[in-house]
Structure 1
Amino acid sequence: MKASRTNVTTVGLMAVAGLVAAIGAGPALVSGADHLDAPTVKTDKRIDITDIYVARRGASRTSLILNVNPLTSPAGAKTAAFRPSALYEWKIDTTGDAIADVAYRIRFGPVATMSDGTVQQSFEIRRATGAAARTNAWSGTRIVLGTTTRAGRSPRIATVLGGGSAFAGVRDDPFFFDLVGFTHFKARLLAGSTDEADLFSDFTGTDTFAGTNVSAIVLDVPNAAVGGFGRHIGVWATVSIRQNQQWVQVERMARPAINTVFNNTKAEKEAANRLRPTDDRAFDHSNVIDTLDAIGHVLDVNHRPRYTAAQEEAIANVLLPDVLTFKVGDASGFLNGRRPANDVIDAELSLLSNGQYTSDGVNANDKAFLTVFPYLAAPHL
């Protein structure tokens, strides 16, 4: 069967994700999808994006999820909060040029400690379009006024002006992965081992992120608000903080692990978090090609076909700029957006091994996802 261009692109991207994850690019890879990926965000988990998700919700809505505060323990869930002085944003490109056409901006009020020891914050969401969406600024039309959900309480759901729902609060971390097994696999691979029993001996099927929480922002909006049904969009998230009386972007994420995998030094990771997608090719193209060349060497040793130079170039052009692509209204999951339940790791392992290794043993989240808003499971307390 002749593969279509779309199928080749999808398989190429998935293969790169899996192969790169296996090779690794330095110790920071053990942080997970985007957990604690660069120096600035390591100083304050409240501004560290762990994952973002984009998915169809019914025939007429799109859901956006932005998670921060990685590895929050059950004991820490009661006091987990968002940073009041930070600006959280979803950026949405509706025209295919990697420039934001729509921005959803979220800010939180001061942290109030309640009588039972839990905390609560007010929050506001604004929507900006056009040139105003391209900047990192607290501007736009106010569409939500809400209050975060206290740990252990039923979700407080705010109404969105123009239709939709909004939520903010601590939830179970939806990312699932045997990180311990992978860490040992990577170390042995980098040490030169090619013995399969040795490489995979520490995969136990234990979800490293089981029992941990994140602080989640969940927003459902009408499809028309993000480009309209059938529109191909690109989504990414940013966090900015005040420096020298202006908003400075210090964190950015779209596809899982792009910064972690392709940028090797702390300086590179920090710089990548401050870029706009339009800067990605100039900044990261050589890193992507170098990583694919390293992957090619491993494939050669294991008597597997490697990428040609032309294929490497094509894959780099798919990966960069780094945005999470989504066809509005399409129900399929990753790589069409990303649903919390999507088992990205298994797909990557299968493609890495030409179907010989099909699972890290962790096939689902440790808690069942909700079928209704806000979709993420209740936190561990």
Structure 2
Amino acid sequence: MRAPNPAWRLLAVPLFLAASVAVASSHREAPLISNDPAADGTDMYAWKQGGNLVLVANYYPIGVPYGGPNYYLFDDNVLYEIQVDQSGDGAPDVRFQFRFRTQIRPSPLPSVGVVAGYDAYKDSFLYAFAGVKTATAPEILRYQTYTLTKVVGGSQQVIVRDAPVAPNNVGRLTTPAYPQTAGASVLDPITQSAIQTGLGTAAKYKIFAGPRDDPFFVNLSKTFDFLNYDGKANRDDLAGLNVLSLVIELPLTEFSSPHLGIWTTSSRPKVTTRRTDGGVDTSGSWVQVSRLGNPLVNEVVVPMKFKDFFNASKPQNDLSTPAIVAIISNPELPQLLQAKGFIPLAPPAPRTDLATIFTRNTQGKPTGEMLHINTGTDSTFPNGRLLTDDVTDVALKAVGGAFFTTFADGGPAILPDGGGTFAAAAAGLSDGVAANDKAFLTTFPYLAPPHSGDPTP
């Protein structure tokens, strides 16, 4: 069997990774992390923006805009990281680490005195008081800040320190400076005030942390109802929902290679102790609880019994982990697509072609699962990932055989009955959702503003 054509292989690397897990990115993808939404990574995006690279890591899936009084926040006890492999060995060479700090601030109402530690009116049940106009407004009563640190080898560089997290869009009275209508996608005053510029030599960095519209678009309901696709246009089941976003834009000159592998992880302290007074103490080293590179990998391709294991694993160990190699060599999804009659025949196992593709970066080096990008060319999935990329459709087509080949002549594989190619048979696969429910911004931080919890006048 001849090796795959290099150009085809480089095109398909991340394509298969998303493809093999079609539909739903990583929203509530594994048993343990579904009980820990603040640490649950939903999507990783990376694209070339002129001479810069934009990185977007989203967390906290299925964010209902009206989910008060404890609106969705980053967790002070989670280490959020965006990791970059620039050497092609599957290990991170550059890490961007976000740590958060939450403060409970007094309301602007006058105090009527303190009794048993309770200051009536100053101690409020509200997340924020009316009239929030900026990310640092004193009306934000549950106020978050963060520090971003770049780690390269043993050196650390603080990019921003004690920067404000944009508040949740509570509604027209509390956060009137946010857009309150679903169709509005503008750079509003609150978002603008949360955009940070890096310190010192990182002055060309832009950074944002806070809630945004969930940019992933997919029909979840029909997907998980045993692939109940009907060939019609379907609703975006993530429409109207928010996520928590970490966004960095930085010069491409910060990296030593244009061939990058990118993923995001979250980690918690190894030991958590709950006190009888309602508090929590943590200790021990960081333990990884979520991992996300390409969209959709853990959600569908990884069987239920291995999902928690995958979230704790590292890309550099993928090639030496027999279970991961076996899962990719014989994925379940093509068999389901055949059983449902969406394709006449699933490409036969073992999918050695997919196992090879799964482990290669844009130079053909074995790395493990991560979002790959060649920043020397324009970005569109599978070369990085844009907010507008319809990765679900790409995924379904690829896993159904769009890039399947015998490698006998480097061309597409012919179906045994002579009725065409695997690629042609998979060409019509789709979840019926083609675009996000909100328009994206044309300027940093690019994601649409968060949906309002109370938009009605």
TM-score grouping bracket, smaller chain normalisation: 0.7 to 0.9
Alignment of 1:82-93 (within 5 A): 82-93=74-85
Shift of 1:71: 0.5
Could you say which structure has the higher helix fraction?
Answer: 1
Q: Secondary structure at the match of 1:95?
A: coil
Quickly say closer, same or farther: Cα 1:316–1:69, change in 2 above 3 A: closer
- In structure 1, the partner of 2:451 is 380
Provide, for residues 325-346 of structure 1, a one-character-per-residue CA deviation record: whole Å limited to 9, x for no partner: 1112532211111111111122
- In structure 2, the partner of 1:7 is 8
- State whether structure 2 residue 231 is matched by structure 1 residue 217: no
Find the aligned partners of 1:53 and 1:281 in 2 and give their Cα distance: 24
- In structure 2, the partner of 1:256 is 295
Amino acid at match of 1:174: P
- In structure 1, the partner of 2:128 is 114
Shift of 1:242: 1.2
Find the aligned partners of 1:222 and 1:238 in 2 and give their Cα distance: 22
Q: Say whether the 8 Å CA contact 2:217–2:237 is kept in structure 1.
A: yes
- State whether structure 2 residue 307 is matched by structure 1 residue 269: yes
Find the aligned partners of 1:104 and 1:296 in 2 and give their Cα distance: 39
Quickly say closer, same or farther: Cα 1:317–1:298, change in 2 above 3 A: farther
Q: Secondary structure at the match of 2:331?
A: helix
Of 91, 101, 106, which aligns to 2:93? 101
Find the aligned partners of 1:313 and 1:89 in 2 and give their Cα distance: 27
Shift of 1:357: 1.5
- In structure 1, the partner of 2:409 is none
Of 166, 172, 175, which aligns to 2:213? 172
- State whether structure 2 residue 175 is matched by structure 1 residue 128: no
Structure 1: runs of 5 or more not aligned = 22-28, 133-138, 187-198
Find the aligned partners of 2:433 and 2:5 in 1 and give their Cα distance: 31
Find the aligned partners of 2:336 and 2:238 in 1 and give their Cα distance: 31
Q: Say whether the 8 Å CA contact 1:77–1:151 is kept in structure 2.
A: no
Q: Say whether the 8 Å CA contact 1:164–1:219 is kept in structure 2.
A: yes
Give the % identical residues. 30
Q: Secondary structure at the match of 1:76?
A: coil
Shift of 1:12: 7.0
Find the aligned partners of 1:4 and 1:219 in 2 and give their Cα distance: 34
Find the aligned partners of 1:174 and 1:208 in 2 and give their Cα distance: 11
Find the aligned partners of 1:84 and 1:239 in 2 and give their Cα distance: 12
Q: Say whether the 8 Å CA contact 1:289–1:316 is kept in structure 2.
A: no
Higher-Rg member (1/2): 2
- In structure 2, the partner of 1:232 is 259
Quickly say closer, same or farther: Cα 1:99–1:76, change in 2 above 3 A: same
- In structure 2, the partner of 1:191 is none
Alignment of 1:176-325 (within 5 A): 176-186=217-227, 200-201=229-230, 203-227=232-256, 231-243=258-270, 244-266=283-305, 268-283=306-321, 284-291=324-331, 295=335, 298=338, 302-304=343-345, 306-307=347-348, 309=350, 310-318=352-360, 321-325=368-372
Find the aligned partners of 1:252 and 1:265 in 2 and give their Cα distance: 15
Amino acid at match of 1:114: A
Find the aligned partners of 2:168 and 2:337 in 1 and give their Cα distance: 49
Provide, for residues 337-376 of structure 1, a one-character-per-residue CA deviation record: whole Å limited to 9, x for no partner: 1111111122234443735425432111000000000000
Quickly say closer, same or farther: Cα 1:297–1:343, change in 2 above 3 A: closer
Amino acid at match of 1:91: Q
- In structure 2, the partner of 1:362 is 433
Find the aligned partners of 1:339 and 1:76 in 2 and give their Cα distance: 28
Provide, for residues 2-54 of structure 1, a one-character-per-residue CA deviation record: whole Å limited to 9, x for no partner: x9522244347535744653xxxxxxx7xx21111223322221100000111
Q: Say whether the 8 Å CA contact 2:13–2:372 is kept in structure 1.
A: no
Find the aligned partners of 1:166 and 1:65 in 2 and give their Cα distance: 10
- State whether structure 2 residue 72 is matched by structure 1 residue 55: no
Quickly say closer, same or farther: Cα 1:143–1:305, change in 2 above 3 A: closer
Provide, for residues 241-260 of structure 1, a one-character-per-residue CA deviation record: whole Å limited to 9, x for no partner: 11242111111110112122
Find the aligned partners of 1:40 and 1:275 in 2 and give their Cα distance: 14
Find the aligned partners of 1:183 and 1:273 in 2 and give their Cα distance: 21
- State whether structure 2 residue 197 is matched by structure 1 residue 159: yes
Amino acid at match of 2:291: R
Amino acid at match of 1:273: N
Alignment of 1:21-60 (within 5 A): 21=22, 32-58=24-50, 60=51
Amino acid at match of 1:122: T
- In structure 1, the partner of 2:135 is none
- In structure 2, the partner of 1:193 is none
Shift of 1:265: 2.7
Find the aligned partners of 2:72 and 2:39 in 1 and give their Cα distance: 12
Q: Say whether the 8 Å CA contact 1:227–1:328 is kept in structure 2.
A: no
* TM-score, length of structure 1 as denominator length: 0.82
Amino acid at match of 2:56: I
How many residue pairs align between the two structures? Answer: 347
Find the aligned partners of 1:185 and 1:233 in 2 and give their Cα distance: 36
Provide, for residues 310-331 of structure 1, a one-character-per-residue CA deviation record: whole Å limited to 9, x for no partner: 4344344449611111112532
Q: Secondary structure at the match of 1:127?
A: strand
- State whether structure 2 residue 103 is matched by structure 1 residue 65: no
Structure 2: runs of 5 or more not aligned = 105-126, 131-138, 170-177, 179-189, 271-282, 362-366, 401-422, 453-457
Of 311, 327, 333, which aligns to 2:380? 333
